[in-house]
Structure 1
């Protein structure tokens, strides 16, 4: 998950394939832990605050989700490395949208999708900020990952925006925030599980 400072301007998307990321520009690797691409390693670019969601956190989350990923339409807001969205794809998600405002990070995501051989119809990267995306025409998703930068008020704003016809009945919503945040969520979201590690508090909700 990322602790990044996100630019708020919309950047025009290029239809050209992104160039391969030079080894000198990387700072680590993302390991997919389950499903079709299990154990595949993908580069993580050297970018301030960018880091993959730890394996332990992803394993816990997807254990909570059980068999919900196969066939799901997934939205990964503030995608960063795409660790959660790519994990969902590996575990059988039908379609995933990864929303990332930083153009370099978005290009790295597109490069990793190409490395995995994932077609655009199954996964796409939207180079814009999350609130601008959610201000557009709603689409219906079965699973949403929301991990905004801490202490910017973005979690509450995004939760409110998601309530405007973005969620399928019984959709899953995973929200990660600073541990001291009292998060207000829509009335039809029920807290399913939660976990805390250091300054990070993860909550998994189900919409009923």
Structure 2
């Protein structure tokens, strides 16, 4: 695993190996995702963005966003293996000043203690309906800014919850990326 673009391009990231069933976003999918976010339909959704990474796993999505110009990132994951990998990858990227890891269940993040986020990554374990619960809790807790872009990674097409509109869907092998926009 590596950072595929931006200031930290090529930097190696610690991967899960056999740790805790984590399934990080493949490099080629991450590269395609950030190509979509960098232009076209969504303008430049990354530069200057405040990023929320739910079910952060290794932290690769948030760190990729920081490498490409995001202002800061909050990574939410309560797994022990994830905590170790997130810490290791933040150190590898020298990104401690722009990141924070919250060891919380992404389905129960509580109220947002600061301003809501412009760009949200949601990468729950596939096929377990955890994404729906996490998005509902993030919306209820004020984590998602009006007009924010939410990128939801799943194994199948998703149905956006109330308050989020589907703007695009992309398929890469067994991965579906749904691009959702929060109501203004």
- State yes or no: 1:114 paired with 2:91: yes
**Please, which runs of 5 or more residues in structure 2 have no aligned partner?**
39-43
Counterpart in the other structure of 2:179: 204
TM-score (structure 2 length as normaliser): 0.85
- State yes or no: 1:174 paired with 2:163: no
TM-score (structure 1 length as normaliser): 0.76
In structure 2, C-alpha distance between the alignment counterparts of 1:97 and 1:41, rounded to whole Å: 20
Stretch deviating more after TM superposition (194-203 or 79-88): 194-203
Count of aligned positions:
175
In structure 2, C-alpha distance between the alignment counterparts of 1:42 and 1:144, rounded to whole Å: 21
Counterpart in the other structure of 2:15: 44
Counterpart in the other structure of 2:29: 57
Counterpart in the other structure of 2:169: 194
Q: Is the 8 A contact 1:77 1:130 kept in 2?
A: yes
1:63-102 matches, within 5 Å, as 63-66=35-38, 67-102=44-79
Deviation by residue 1:87-111 (Cα, 9 ceiling, x = unmatched):
0010111110111111232122112
Q: Is the 8 A contact 2:107 2:135 kept in 1?
A: no
Structure label with greater radius of gyration: 1
